[in-house]
Amino acid sequence: MSEMEPHVSPPPVVRGEPVEVSSGVFVIPDGRVPLVPNVGFVVGTRAVLVVDTGMSLDSAAYVLGQAKRLAEGKPLYLTVTHFHPEHGFGAQVFADSSTIVYNREQRDELRLKGAGYIDMFKGIFGQHVVTALEGVELIDPHEVYDGETEIDLGGHVVTLRTFGRAHTGGDQVVIVDGRVLFGGDLFETRMFPIVPYFPPDDTDVDLMSCRHSPCVAICRRLRPWPALGGAWP
């Protein structure tokens, strides 16, 4: 009887062409690759919003290139669904070309835990992640909001709404025109919501997943429009 080879996950790299899921709303699917987010783009007549960057500088540079192609010279905004590495640690690539917007809880949590998460991810997830995090520098957003804010992109109005403590201490949902939802890791497909409880490094999560239920309610209200979570449908 031959030994089975251990499963090795592919590198956590964002790749692929943006897919239009609703008018002016595009997604680069995660490809079911661990530690790769669904990256979103909302293309307006005056500006373009990017949702999540991926973990590495390479992924973020790819996302930025796609954003610039879709924007055709229009200004760019960047936001992330939450502070975790695979969603937003490529933000530095956008710093000189985009307006970066987080809620206050995200910004504060990034300052408090970001460096520790780099060390933790390198220790847990192996060489692919060590390589992905090379050169990463944690940066503050250009703008911070409390509670809720809107960005008028021209033809599309995006609501950034602080969701509060659930998957992290400062989760955010991104709602496009009241009908398309980016929820990050507040909900998943083909798996349970993720509750990353890593004592003593991180305990600011909702262990009972009670705060995930309101996000599911938002999804139901938006039907049949797309709701994009942490895993591609």
For residue 108, pLDDT over 90 is answered with yes
pTM listed for this prediction: 0.85
For residue 42, pLDDT over 70 is answered with yes
- Between 71 and 219, name the one with better pLDDT: 71
For residue 196, pLDDT over 70 is answered with no
Domains along the chain? 19-229 (3.60.15.10)
Compute the average pLDDT of residues 62-77: 98
Mean pLDDT for the chain overall:
85
Q: What share of the chain is helix, strand, coil (3-state, %, to 5)?
A: 25, 25, 50
Q: State the pLDDT confidence band at 185, using cuts at 50, 70 and 90.
A: confident
Give the C-alpha separation, 13 to 37, whole Å. Answer: 9
For residue 233, pLDDT over 70 is answered with no
Compute the average pLDDT of residues 130-148: 97
Compute the average pLDDT of residues 160-174: 86
What region does 31 belong to: left with phi over 0, alpha with psi -120 to 50, or beta? left
- Could you give the percent of the chain with pLDDT greater than 70? 77
Q: State the pLDDT confidence band at 187, using cuts at 50, 70 and 90.
A: confident
Pairing of strands 227-229, 19-22: unpaired
Give the C-alpha separation, 73 to 85, whole Å. Answer: 28
For residue 28, pLDDT over 50 is answered with yes
For residue 48, CA distances in Å to 25, 40, 109, 118, 175 come to 10, 10, 26, 29, 14
For residue 220, pLDDT over 80 is answered with no
Contact assessment for residue 174 and residue 81, using Cβ atoms and an 8 Å cutoff: yes
